[in-house]
Structure 1
Amino acid sequence: MTAEAEAKQLDSVTDVVKEAEIDTAKAQEAIGLIRSKTNDDQQAAALAAVTISRGDVELIVSELEVTEEVAERTLREVSLDAKGGNVVEAALRVLIA
């Protein structure tokens, strides 16, 4: 192939490509959703990594009459927030909610 033929072929290939416009609002919304999902996943993983005392859960369940799930989640959140939080603080959160 000659240089002229190669140049012509290259021009024909690049001419076919059409630029697509991106809706920036939709792109920003998609990025926000991805970030939100990532943050939610990271928080769930952090909460799952926290160890809680079975006795603390039972105390909150019996005294405040909440489900085990609520008691466990509250204890885990307090532990993350307060770097090892306590039962009293967790109980107050459940009462306030």
Structure 2
Amino acid sequence: MKAQPELPRPRAALLLLAVALMLGLTLAPQLLRHADGSADTLAALWLCWAMCAGFVRGVGFVPVSRPLRWLLGAPACGLALALAAWRVL
């Protein structure tokens, strides 16, 4: 009898993080601007990357492609958050 492959499972913490980022970026976009009022596109890019990775892995989807698995995984979400925090703070 063949062993059943393990089914991906949702990750509540990543999903909650993605929802928090979505709401934060929607309700307070002024946090992503420089002192002169121009947009901080690099911080926005990293936060959107973290949000996408959080949604993808948070709902339990695991991409088949290895590069996409790396780009949309939990470690990538953490890396993107760290880069955004470094940029904003």
TM-score (norm 1): 0.30
TM-score (norm 2): 0.32
Q: Does 1 or 2 have the higher relative contact order (CA < 8 Å, sep 6+)?
A: 2
More helix by share: 1
Larger radius of gyration: 1
